[in-house]
Copies of this chain bind each other. A is one copy, B any other.
Amino acid sequence: MRFLHTADWHIGKKLHGYDLLEEQADAFQQILKIAKEEKVDAIVVAGDLYDRSVPSVEAIEVFNRMIVEMNLQEKFPVLAISGNHDSSTRLETGGPWFIQSDFHLNTRLDQAFEPVEMKNTQFFLLPYFEPISARLYFDNEEIRTIEQAMKEVITEMEKQFKPDMAHVLVSHFFVAGSEKSDSETKLMVGGLDTVPLSLLESFDYVALGHLHGKNALQAENARYSGSPLKFSLSEMSQKKGVWIVDTVVDKTTFEFKEITPLRDLIQLEGSFKELTTQEFYESIDRESYLHIQLTDRAVIPNMMNQLRQIYPRVIGVERLFGREVKEKNRAAKKEIKALAPTELVNQFFSEVTGEQLTQQQQTWIKDNLAALHQAERGK
């Protein structure tokens, strides 16, 4: 069978304060158009449908229209899971009715073990989950990490494999060896959330969500679809789109189909004078989301307002030649931001005490961070 693989819609996400609902609705229409042109048998959405566990009323309106159009009007079967940004319970409402029109929206771990069979393919729809859910489901106190959980999960799925069918896993995790960009929330607490690629070998295709770049993982049988829009500067040069997957037993192929953002995310570099010259600004798409790198050294009064009169969607202005100290601070801050929580604690401890954490202390910290992380998720 042939299906479209997308993920990480993050409906309701804002880009530096700018509402993206119009762009998101437009990207959705492009996805639908590709689905029709490619005559796919189903649309797979691998988690993070919403950007927040409690989405705004406006985001819900847009999302509701999308699912009605996709499933009830255009009659596409939909195979979807909740991601780490979604509230599984809030998303669950309506699920038992959705199935009547082949809209499968899995939000609980136990649902992952009843594959959806369509044509020649078994789909295992595994929503994002925390190790505690696997601990309870398998009644196994040993399960502490996602890797441990996934071993059990996949063994359980393999029991259901029909040998004459293709097997597709739809999942929302960080697979070891993938490349991150800046717009994904850190799932990771000291690496507890990583799934090794080797665990996924038995599937013909793994339709992943979570990372926002389509090239985040280069595996023979697995892809991230990436988000339909650019959600951060680090995604500036990424091509966005969806995968069209053809499942043939032991010979599955996939091809990327690009979508064009309603408004792009671009970076401009130049002096204030250059950037505000008519000849220059008429040469570029001023409606884009813009990150501006200014080469000036002097103070420019009322700079932001002047820039915004020409460029309505400035998401940030950077001074390339600011004071050196400032630069350094910024670099240090960035570095701290990029550290995993356990490393942060380690670093703080050694700075303050001049000593290293013992193995036992590190375990305590990991356990407590994991507990905190779970409590946070439970909200």
Contact = CB atoms under 8 A, between A and B. Distances in A.
Given A100-B100, A100-B101, A101-B100, A93 B60 contact: yes
A92 B92 CA distance: 13
Contacts of A54: 54
Contact of A64 (B60, B92, B101): B92
A205 interface: no
A57 interface: yes
A97 interface: yes
A324 interface: no
A75 to B, nearest CB: 13
A68 interface: yes
A72 interface: yes
A96 interface: yes
Contacts of A94: 93-94, 97-98
Tally of this chain's copies: 2
- Secondary structure type dominating chain A contacts: helix
Interface string A200-230: 0000000000000000000000000000000
A128 interface: no
A97 B98 CA distance: 6
A164 interface: no
A63 B94 CA distance: 11
Nearest to A60: B89
B103 A57 contact: no
Given A54-B54, A100-B100, A101-B100, A93 B64 contact: yes
A272 B349 CA distance: 55
A52 B307 CA distance: 43
Interface in A128-154: none
A90 interface: yes
Contacts of A87: 57
B90 A57 contact: yes
Contacts of A335: none
A68 B87 CA distance: 19
Interface string A49-73: 0000010010011011000100010
Nearest to A72: B96
- Residue from A87, A96, A379 with most neighbouring chain B CB atoms (10 Å): A96
A89 B68 contact: no
28 contacts: A54-B54, A57-B87, A57-B89, A57-B90, A57-B379, A60-B89, A60-B90, A60-B92, A60-B93, A61-B89, A63-B93, A64-B89, A64-B93, A68-B96, A72-B96, A72-B97, A93-B93, A93-B94, A94-B94, A94-B97, A94-B98, A97-B97, A97-B98, A97-B100, A97-B101, A97-B103, A100-B100, A100-B101
